[in-house]
Amino acid sequence: MAIKIGDIFPDTVLTYVPYDAKNPEACGLPQQLKTHEAFRGKKVVLFAVPGAFTPTCSEEHMPGYVRLAGDMKSKGADIVACVASNDQFVMHAWGKSYSVKDDILMLSDANGELGSALGLVNDGSARRMGPIRLARFALIIDDLKVIYVGIEPAPGVSVSGAPAVLAKL
Partner 1 sequence: MTIKVGDEFPEVQLKYVPYDAAAPNACKGPQLLDTKKAFSGKKVVLIGVPGAFSPTCSVQHIPPYVAKADELKAKGVDLIVCVSGNDFFVMEAWGKQEKVTDKILMAGDANGDLGRATGLSIDLSKAGLGAVRLTRFVAIIDNGKVAHLAVEPDPTEVTVTGADKTLSAL
Return the active site residues: 57
Using CB under 8 A as the binding rule, whether residue 25 contacts partner 1 is answered as no
User: Contacts with partner 1 in 145-164 (CB under 8 A)?
Assistant: none
Q: What value, to the nearest 5°, has the Cα angle with vertex 11 and ends 159 and 120?
A: 35
Among 70, 76, 131, 156, binds partner 1 (CB under 8 A): 131
Instruction: Spell out the residues 6+ positions from residue 166 whose beta carbon is closer than 8 angstroms to its own.
Output: 68, 71, 72, 75
Q: What is the C-alpha separation between 11 and 40, in angstroms, rounded?
A: 10
Among 2, 8, 24, 97, binds partner 1 (CB under 8 A): 97
Contact, 98 vs 64, CB < 8 A?
no
Q: What is the C-alpha separation between 90 and 50, in angstroms, rounded?
A: 13
Half-sphere CA count of 5, side-chain side, radius 13 A? 6
State which residue, 10 or 124, has the beta carbon closest to partner 1. 124
Sole window of 41-49, 73-81, 106-114, 139-147 interacting with partner 1 (rule: CB under 8 A): 106-114
Among 86, 106, 114, 141, binds partner 1 (CB under 8 A): 86
Using CB under 8 A as the binding rule, whether residue 128 contacts partner 1 is answered as yes
The conformation of residue 104, written as its DSSP 8-state character, comes to: S
Among 94, 114, 141, 152, binds partner 1 (CB under 8 A): 94
Name the site residues for partner 1 (rule: CB under 8 A): 15, 27, 30, 32, 51-55, 85-90, 92-94, 97, 108, 110-111, 124-125, 128-132
